[in-house]
Each structure stands twice: as C-alpha cells, then as structure tokens.
Amino acid sequence: MKIPNNLCIKPFIQLATKPSGYTRVCCTSTSSKFIVDSNGNRLEFNSDLNQLWNSHTLVNLRKKFLNNEKPIECQACYDLESFGKKSKRQQENDIYLKSNTDRIIYAEHNNGELNSYPVILDLRFGNHCNLKCRSCFPSSSSLIEKEYNLINKEVINKLEIELDSEVSLWYKDKRFLEKIKLILPELKFLYIVGGEPTIIPEVLKLLNLIIDSGYSKNIILSLNTNLSIFNNKFFSILNKFKAVHIGPSIDIYGDRLKYVRHPLEWKTFKNNYKRLMDLNYDNLYVFINITVSVYNIFHLEELYNKMLDMSNERVSFNFEILSIPSYLSFNILPDHLRKIAIEKIDHFISNVGIKDQLISIKYMLESKDDYLNREKFKLFTNTLDKIRNENFAETFPELKDLI
C-alpha cells in the first residue's frame, strides 16, 4: 500500500502514560491528549490491554492518518514541519515506519483496530524525586509539590502554576507487571521517566522482570536521570539490554548548580558522571540533556566544554529550549543582556559542530522579547529565594538587573 504523507506511526506502535497512570497518544500531542473510551472516560495503563490498545482515541486517530488527515491533536508536529524543522512525527517515521507497515495494512482492513501490541512504551513513574529544580513542576517532583503548597495562593495564581498534578502510584498496582508481561514479546523500545527513575524501586523491579524473562536483549532502554546519586543495583544490570540510552540532565556547573537544581552540588554530579563513564558498557550511549533557560544562556559553551572533558566518544549533547514556564525562558532578557547572550552564542557556534541547535537559540534571542514575563520572573524568584534562603542576585550577578 502507499503510505499517506501525513501519517504518524506512533498510534500504531506506542503507548504512553502521564505520571497519573492515565494514557496518552504521545508527549508532543496538543494538550497531551488523553486516550479515552467511547464514552469519553480516560483510560489508565492498568486497564484492559485490548480495550486500551483499540480504544476510541487510538482507533479514530489511526483512521484519520489512513485517510491522510492532519489530526488537530498532532498540530505541534505539523507546525514544526511548516517551519522547515524535523518533527517528532518524521523522526519516529524514519525509525519505525518501514518495519511496521504490516500494522498499517492490518488497521486499514480492520477499521483502525490492531491485533498486535505496542512496540514502544513511554512510562512516567509518578513524581518521586530527590531534587526540586527551578524549572520543574509538581507533576515531576514530589519535593516541588510539597514546596508549592507553602506558597501563597495569590502568587500561585499569578504564576499560573497547576498544583493539581494528578500523580498516583499506579505502577505499584499488580496489574502493571501483568500488563508488561503481555507486551514484552513485541516490545522494542522502553522509555522511562520519573520523578527520578533510579530511586524508584518499581523501576528496578520492572527492569529485572524484563531481564529474567529473556526479552531484554531485544529492547532498547532509554531513561533520564539527574545523577544526584549512583544506584549500583540499578546501573549494574544495564548491560543486559540490547542498548541503553542514558540522559543525564545538567543545566549549569559549579556553585550555581545547587541554585538551579536544588540541592544538587556540582561535586556530586561530577563524581557520579565519572562513575557512569567508567561503566564502559558496549551497549551504553549517553545523551547529555541541557535545558536552555535564562539561568544558563550565558554559560552554555563553558558547560559544554566541562562535560566534554569528562566524556568518552559515545556521548552526545541535546540542547532543549525551555518554553514552560515561560517566565524562565531566555526570551525575558532585556536588550542589553540579550546582546551579551547573542555574542556568547555566536562564539559558541564558531567553536563547535553542533550548529543547528545553537542557531535555533540565536534565532529566538534575535526575534522575541518576552518583556511581559519579566515581572513574573521577579515574583517567582523572590518567592522561592525566600522559602529556600537563596539569593539570585548574588548567585547570578550578571543577571541581577532582572530583579
């Protein structure tokens, strides 16, 4: 069959969860759309697998793609493509489309339904975390969830912070591992996020189940970690998988790290990163995730060089531009600070080969001034500084004009 141009392979091969255990099509779909049944009820990962996999949402989405439509919930990818950028839809199609055309053909002849289970699982194990990073949310950090409950409701409303994180312990339900056992024979890619996955016992239990089942050799495991601790039991079993993609998150170095990713200290991260490099597993690939915000826009090249000095040849870098919360974006910089940031990015671009991501950062610095969010930044910063007994102006003297 001829594959429709607008088709995305994800609804044919993937199940994704939110920290609440409710399911969604993928993390980039508009408003993180939930998977629902024909009555509009949200479906949990622990619900009946056949009911979930051939749910109202997934069946209708597959049919729309088979008709070469552009579903509204997938607009984020189409918008990116219209600007000449490669979307998540295109990236996933490049990897998985050719090997899964049989699923597309089956769905076309069976009214959008499938008789085979997911190839990809994207699992969000609640929000249990030992850090409270300034750019994070209650849905991803239990410490932030507790801290935000201390903030005046008027401030919460002004900052448009969503306190109802809908986090649950869905992964502790015995039905969770029963569902995994059904999916394992076809599973090829497992993506795990927390909270912090390395300190959640159920994540380690899941990985051991996969290894004991004999299927780990068929599965690529991908996970993000803050590397605030080095869990030997966790890292010692990773060589049992076909491949492992570890994404350490690090946004800044030195004494400033504790301010941005409280209470993580640079010495701790550096020591744990060295232990990760020393593993020397043939199947291990490291993707350093750097979220680019107002905090680190002046220091990206220095951070890159420091991490490069500590890394081996199987390490790459991903610069993710922070968009939410918008008041922590580098777009809040006034003109005189924006000029300095552009000069630093220009210098970085001239010295490294990762130009595409950096050019996007420079483009945003040159084209957008989000001055309306400067007051929100000031309110957010002063509020957290008071709770944590920290001082932004002393930590980032070059940015003190912001407050």
Residue 110, number of CB atoms within 10 A of its CB? 13
Domains of the chain are: 10-121 (no CATH), 125-402 (3.20.20)
Q: Of 272, 205, 273, whose CA–CA distance to 233 is shortest?
A: 205
Query: Omega before 185 cis (within 30°)?
Result: no
pLDDT value, residue 294: 97
Q: Of 44, 46, 51, whose CA–CA distance to 18 is shortest?
A: 44
Do 112 and 59 contact (CB within 8 A), yes or no? yes
Residue 356 exposure: Cα atoms within 13 Å on the Cβ side: 6
pLDDT value, residue 162: 80
Whole-angstrom Cα distance, residue 300 to residue 318? 12
Find the helix or strand (DSSP H, E) in which 14 lies.
strand 14-17
* Helix, strand, coil in percent for the chain, rounding step 5: 50, 10, 35
Arithmetic mean of pLDDT over the chain: 93
- In tens, the pLDDT along 46-69 reads 999 999 999 999 999 999 999 999
Q: What is the mean pLDDT of residues 138-147?
A: 92
Pairing of the two strands 14-17 and 23-24: antiparallel
pLDDT value, residue 31: 52
pTM: 0.92
Do 17 and 52 contact (CB within 8 A), yes or no? no
Do 247 and 226 contact (CB within 8 A), yes or no? no
Locate all alpha helices (DSSP H) within 198-334, ordered by sequence: 201-213, 232-235, 256-260, 266-278, 300-309
Whole-angstrom Cα distance, residue 74 to residue 25? 10
pLDDT value, residue 25: 87
- Per cent of the chain over pLDDT 90 is 82
- In tens, the pLDDT along 163-219 reads 766 889 999 999 999 999 999 999 999 999 989 999 999 999 999 999 999 999 999
How far from each other are the two terminal CA atoms of the chain, in whole angstroms? 59
The tokens for 199 are 């300190």
DSSP state of 85: P
